[in-house]
Amino acid sequence: MNLLRPSQLMSQTDLEIVVEDPTAPEHDSPSVVISGTVEIVVCLLLLALAATLGYDNWRTGISWDSTGPEPGYFPFYLSTILGGGSLYGLIVALLARRAASETFVTRAQARRVLAVFVPTLLFCLVTQFLGLYVASLLLIASFMRLVGKIALWKSLLTAFLFTAIMFVTFDIAFDVIMPKGPLEAAFGY
């Protein structure tokens, strides 16, 4: 595509930076869920949370003793406010449901969000068992290769370099110790 370029005025802006997105979501992808529905679900969840926390604080004690308000006093009233807010939100969302049907996420978008969410979830799981640095290596290399369709050697090299820099910066230079697994143990860390 040829952009307008009256750039003879200033030669240094001639260069263009173009980044293509091979896996861009289509614009006409069907909607998976509308915002109204999500809002109702969120309000219900918050209402349940408010009820649970409210009950727990009531059990802890919401009245006054000789030293002043009991520990549950402040949070109990906050749970009430949260409950009230979510109830109001629920009613508003239910009333508006018929009129508005704004898309929360389309199918193509949902697929892309999952394409980053699922690897992140797996990354956390691997971190738990194999340590953060191994997980980081696996995440970056596989994400670049599988989602970004970037050449394997580039993916591996980037993943290795980034992980190595992180290790040197945090574990060695700044003494911020990360969770480690059997691999690091084999190297004596």
Provide the minimum distance between the beta carbon of 102 and other proteins in the complex, in angstroms, as a whole number: 10
Provide the minimum distance between the beta carbon of 167 and other proteins in the complex, in angstroms, as a whole number: 10
174 phi and psi angles, rounded to 5 deg: -105, 0
Query: Is 48 a residue that touches other proteins (CB under 8 A)?
Result: no
Query: Is 162 a residue that touches other proteins (CB under 8 A)?
Result: yes
> How far is the first Cα of the chain from the last one, in angstroms, to the nearest whole number?
53
Q: How many residues line the site for other proteins (CB under 8 A)?
A: 89
Provide the minimum distance between the beta carbon of 188 and other proteins in the complex, in angstroms, as a whole number: 20
Q: Are 36 and 96 in contact (CB under 8 A)?
A: yes
Q: Which two tokens stand for residue 47?
A: 């209402």
Residue 29 carries which DSSP code? P
Query: Taking CB under 8 A as the criterion, which residues in 107-136 touch other proteins?
Result: 109, 112-113, 115-117, 119-121, 123-124, 127-128, 132, 135-136
Closest CA to 43 of 7, 1, 96: 96
